[in-house]
Amino acid sequence: MDEKVLEEFQFHKETVVADVNSPLHLIREKEMEISGRVLATKKEAEQIVSEARRKAVEIVQKAEAEGEVLSSEEEKRVTVQVERDVAKIHEDAEHEVEALRETIVERMSNAIDYVVGSVTRF
């Protein structure tokens, strides 16, 4: 049995034997009443703390889950942007290569003329 229950049982047992209107009895009765209120308040406070802890755990779990979702979405967005940038770089590089090929073709005849001219002068 709980200590509080034993105490109340003992008090009621003593009450039957003792004078109900005695000051000592009235004081003891008030003490028991206050003790009961304190115990009830303590129990309520423990429940409030327990509920607050449970809610805190839920909030943390929810925040972590949302964080994972947001980071995954951001990772996908950044990956898509990087892939676009890479494709653009490849496209630009291909254009530059093509421009260089055209320049080579244009200058090839000049280079051939120069080499032939150099060889025939000797």
Q: What total number of domains does the chain contain?
A: 1
Q: Which of 3, 11, 10 is nearest to 30 (CA)?
A: 11
In this prediction, residue 122 carries a pLDDT of 61
Handedness of CA 47, 49, 54, 59 (dihedral sign): positive
Q: pLDDT tens, 40-74? A: 999 999 999 999 999 999 999 999 999 999 999 99
What is the pTM assigned to this prediction? 0.50
Query: Would you say 78 and 84 are in contact if contact means Cβ atoms under 8 Å apart?
Result: no
**What whole-number distance in Å separates Cα of residue 4 and Cα of residue 33?**
11
State the angle between helix axes of 23-121 and 3-17 in degrees (0 to 180), rounded to the nearest 10. 170
Q: pLDDT tens, 14-35? A: 655 556 677 877 888 888 889 8
Residue type, 31: E
Q: Whole domain around residue 100: which residue ranges?
A: 3-121
Q: pLDDT tens, 67-115? A: 999 999 999 999 999 999 999 999 999 999 999 999 998 888 888 888 8
